[in-house]
Amino acid sequence: MIAQFTDADYRTWDENWPVLQLAVNTSVAKTSGYSSAFITQPREPRLPNALFDGQTTRTGSCTQTPAENAEKL
C-alpha cells in the first residue's frame, strides 16, 4: 500500500502517513468482519470528507443501547 501512495519517489512515504494510517485502520478484516478502528472504538471514524456534513451517518444521537452494542461486538 505504501508503494501505491509514493509513486516513483519512495522517499516521500512519510508525507502520506495520515492517509495511509486511515486506510489501514478503516479496512475491514476478513476474519472478524470489522475494521480495527471499529474494534478499538465502538464506532467507525468520521472520514475527512464527512467532517463538515450535516448528514453524517453514525454521529449524533446513539441508536443502540450499550447492551445491544456489546452483543453486536
Q: Which domain holds residue 5?
A: 1-44+66-70
Residue in the block written with cell 492517509: 19
pLDDT tens digit sequence for 12-71:
778 878 888 888 888 888 888 888 888 888 888 777 766 555 555 555 555 666 777 778
Question: How far apart (Å, rounded) are the C-alpha atoms in residues 24 and 1?
Answer: 9
Contact 36, 44 (CB under 8 A): no
Which of 19, 21, 60 is CA-nearest to residue 43? 60
Q: Is residue 27 part of a domain?
A: yes
Number of structural domains found in the chain: 1
Q: Is residue 4 part of a domain?
A: yes
Residue in the block written with cell 475494521: 35
pTM value surpassing 0.75: no
Q: Is residue 52 part of a domain?
A: no
